[in-house]
Amino acid sequence: MAASPYASALGRLNPEFPSFLPKETYPQLLATKDPNEFAKVLETTPYAEDVARIRATHSGVSLVELAINRTFVRRNRHAFEATPFAGRPIVGAYLGRWDIQNIEMILTAKAKGRGVTETEDHLISSREIPAGLYAGAMNLDDFRILLSQTTVEAMVTSLVRYGYGTTILPFLEAFERTHNIFPILLALDKEYYRNVLAQARFFQGDEWVVRGLIQSEIDARNALLLLKGKDHRLPVEDVLARWIDGGTSTAAAASDLYAARSVPELAERLAPRFPSIGEGASEYTSADSLTGYEVALERERASSELKRLRTYPLSLSVIFAFLLRNELERSDLRRAVFGRLYGVSAERLTPLLVSPRL
């Protein structure tokens, strides 16, 4: 019997899973008094090398975020390099999300008049590694060129050379009239999901796992969209205008769900699809925040998807299980360090983390 092309990927990535932070580390991080102390705890973890490299030029939350992003990019690069040739188009399309996030961050910063240096610190890049992780179209120098543009219009024009022109140029005229950046950001998101789902077509037999992963992300995103719309009392047509196609839920069904009178009632209606969504109710009741619902959706999706991905180790699943764990850890660490920055108590932050409860 021929060996699976993913046996090598499994052999390269399996030893890396223990490098993700154990759940015992999170209470130590949440017990810190500020981001500088947070960084000191990270120096006892696999993040130590990056914290040490950046400490000479940064401190506080910038130090932590840069260290997190460097480790994050290096792990993603390792996963991409471990992927057999046949799987690289799918993994590359998936990793393109970080190019999109960087572009959206730069566009938003420019629209709000924020500075170049401040924005560059938050790019998903480890400085010596291309921000596109070898899979995207853009590297750090390309993003710096974008940052140097004086207007959003100039930035959009620059993005044409990277293949994003057909996606965002149709919205440029409207932006010039309204200065509303959101339609451009939504167009980028929709094109990203369309492309990654198209890459996950069935030709080897294991792409269905990736399609399920992406569809679950779209479903969770759309559910949160409904909750945000209800919280802001937006009409249903405005909410559905921001709907992302490609998930398992339909906009028609969402319209019926949206008839709920309140956010908690809407969450109850979403419970058959997302059984754990009710875990977010206490945060909403006590702090009028949707973060609890967002985390509940993220945690339930992570738990079910990781369980499914682990069932098929000799396939694309091992790559995407590693990528998902990496994303969850980055999200948790950012939520934790910004929580410490703004003085959010450990008691409130603990239930808002995903990785420690997987």
221 and 134 part of one domain: no
Domain limit, last residue, from 146, 175, 199:
199
Residue 350 tokens, joined:
């603990």
Does this model's pTM top 0.75? My answer is yes
Q: What is the mean pLDDT of residues 60-73?
A: 92
The verdict on residue 240 lying in a domain is yes
Instruction: Name, in order, each residue with C-beta under 8 angstroms of 16's C-beta and a sequence gap of 6 or more.
Output: 75, 78, 322
* Boundaries of domain holding 154: 86-199
Query: Containing H/E element for 119?
Result: helix 116-120
Q: Using the predicted structure, report yes or no on whether residue 149 has a pLDDT greater than 90.
A: no
Rounded Cα distance between 319 and 331, Å, is: 19
Q: What is the mean pLDDT of residues 175-200?
A: 92
Residue 243 tokens, joined:
């709907």
pLDDT tens figures, 301-354? 999 999 999 988 888 999 999 999 999 999 999 999 999 999 999 999 999 999
- Answer whether 99's CB lies under 8 Å from 137's CB: yes
The verdict on residue 8 lying in a domain is no
The verdict on residue 341 lying in a domain is yes
pLDDT tens figures, 79-107? 999 999 889 889 999 998 988 888 888 88
96 and 194 part of one domain: yes
Tell me what the pLDDT averaged over the chain comes to: 89
CATH of the domain at 107: 1.20.1690
175 and 222 part of one domain: no
261 and 355 part of one domain: no
The verdict on residue 184 lying in a domain is yes
Q: Using the predicted structure, report yes or no on whether residue 130 has a pLDDT greater than 50.
A: no
Confidence of residue 67 (pLDDT cuts 50, 70, 90): very high
Residue 231 tokens, joined:
């919280």
Residue scoring higher pLDDT (151 or 230):
230
Q: Using the predicted structure, report yes or no on whether residue 119 has a pLDDT greater than 70.
A: no
Q: Is 112 exposed, middle or buried (0-12, 13-18, 19+ CB in 10 A)?
A: exposed
The verdict on residue 318 lying in a domain is no
119 and 136 part of one domain: yes
Confidence of residue 113 (pLDDT cuts 50, 70, 90): confident
The verdict on residue 243 lying in a domain is yes
Domain limit, last residue, from 140, 172, 199:
199
- Answer whether 124's CB lies under 8 Å from 101's CB: yes
225 and 291 part of one domain: yes
Domain limit, last residue, from 168, 199, 230:
199
- Residue 132 is predicted with a pLDDT of 43
Q: Which amino acid is at 226?
A: L
Q: Using the predicted structure, report yes or no on whether residue 125 has a pLDDT greater than 70.
A: no
Q: What is the mean pLDDT of residues 134-138?
A: 55
Q: Using the predicted structure, report yes or no on whether residue 62 has a pLDDT greater than 60.
A: yes
95 and 194 part of one domain: yes
The verdict on residue 164 lying in a domain is yes
CATH of the domain at 38: 1.10.132
Q: Which amino acid is at 39?
A: A
143 and 160 part of one domain: yes
pLDDT tens figures, 240-280? 999 999 999 999 999 999 999 999 999 999 999 999 999 99
Range with lowest mean pLDDT among 140-149, 222-231, 348-357 = 140-149
Question: What's the structural domain count of the chain?
Answer: 3
The verdict on residue 1 lying in a domain is no
104 and 185 part of one domain: yes
Confidence of residue 159 (pLDDT cuts 50, 70, 90): confident
- Residue 107 is predicted with a pLDDT of 87
Q: Long-range contacts for 42-48 (Cβ within 8 Å, ≥24 apart)?
A: 42/67, 45/21, 46/19, 46/21, 46/71, 47/71
